[in-house]
Amino acid sequence: MSIYDFKVKEMDGKEVSLGDFKGKILIIVNTASKCGFTPQYEELQELYDQYKEQDLEILAFPSNQFAEQEPGDNDEVRSFCQLNYGVNFPLFAKGDVRGENALPLFNHLTEQKPFQGFDSNHQFGGILQESLEKNFPSYLEGNSVKWNFTKFLVDRNGQVVGRYEPTTSPLDMRVDIEKIM
């Protein structure tokens, strides 16, 4: 199965095929508006502005699964992202990114790129690990998405080539993005 075989819903409920993004480089990310990592929207927008002419697309999927940090509806999410971070890359309908109701896309992404741990050198790496161990130990099992702002890099052929946990700044993905351009 290819990334292009999946269909997702836009915020207005319209179904879209990821096949529409064939030939583009994708960053697929689960997001939340009330998370300590929410400022990553700014860096994602910076990447988008820098590379969109070279066919980079950022596909954001809001989720309320992690400590209920995305409580708003789709319109509230869109408004928040535009007003606070100037986001103009695609935002998709809010949904689950892990567990039995996870979007099939995210199950595919995590199968292709398993969890390798958090960056222990990042100021929040240890804190995130400890918080999950204490409050959400089941989240650390398996390869599913562990927290908001987990990012997946997909090449122009639809291959998942990288997974970046929330502790990785989007700007730190530049080298890997440029390698596949």
Q: Look up residue 112 and give its amino acid.
A: Q
User: Which residues have C-beta within 8 Å of that of residue 43, sequence separation ≥ 6?
Assistant: 169, 170, 171
Give me the helices (H) in 22-71, please. Answer: 40-51
Helix (H, G, I), strand (E, B) or coil at 87: coil
**Any long-range contacts for 119-124 (C-beta under 8 Å, 24+ apart)?**
119/165, 119/167, 119/168, 122/167, 122/168, 124/36, 124/166, 124/167
Catalytic residue among 11, 16, 35, 161: 35
- Any catalytic annotation for residue 81? no
* Pairing relationship of beta strands 160-164 and 56-62 according to DSSP bridges: unpaired
Instruction: Read off the tokens for 15.
Output: 């179904």
Catalytic residues: 35
